[in-house]
Amino acid sequence: MKQEKTQRTVLIGNAFPLSLIRRRVEIQPCSEAAFKAAVTDADIHSFWGHSNTLECVNDFAGIDLTPSVARPTIGLSDDHLPILDDITFTECYIVSPDYIHGFRPGIGEEVSSESIRGWQILKIYWK
C-alpha cells in the first residue's frame, strides 16, 4: 500500500517574540537555498508584521507571505508551541532584511529593494 506524503506546515515571519519561547528550541542560520527548499510545497502560514518590506520579501522568497490578517498575533498551545490560524507549529522561519549600511526605515516607510542588500534567515525548531 502506497503512503501519501504529508504536507509540512511552516510558520514564517520577520521576527519572533522570544518571550514566547517556553520550551527547548533549536535556532540556526538557514541558507537561502535551504529555506526555499523547505517552503516548496509546504503549507505556509505567515505572521509577517511589517508591511513596508512585504513586497520585497515576496520577491525574494518566491511566495506570497501576506498574512491572513494585518499584524497577526501568535499564541501558545498547552504544550508551549506557537499557534497561528488555529494551527500548532514546530517549525518556523524568521526572514529579516539585511539593510545597506546606515539605513533604518522610518515607521511605515516603504522600503525599496535597493535598501536591502540581502536577507538573514533563521530556522526555529521546537523540540
Count of structural domains, the chain: 1
pLDDT (0 to 100) of residue 2: 54
Instruction: Specify if 3 maps to a domain.
Output: no
Prediction pTM value: 0.89
Tens of pLDDT, residue by residue over 90-122, are 999 999 999 999 898 888 777 888 889 999 999
Which amino acid, residue 88?
A: T
pLDDT (0 to 100) of residue 62: 93
Helix axes 32-39, 54-61, angle to 10 degrees: 90
Instruction: Specify if 49 maps to a domain.
Output: yes
Instruction: Specify if 1 maps to a domain.
Output: no
Tens of pLDDT, residue by residue over 5-59, are 567 899 999 999 999 999 999 999 999 999 999 999 999 999 998 888 898 999 9
Q: Mind giving me the DSSP string for 15-36?
A: ---GGG--S-EEEEE--HHHHH
Distances (CA, A) of 44 to 66, 90, 111, 113: 10, 13, 24, 23
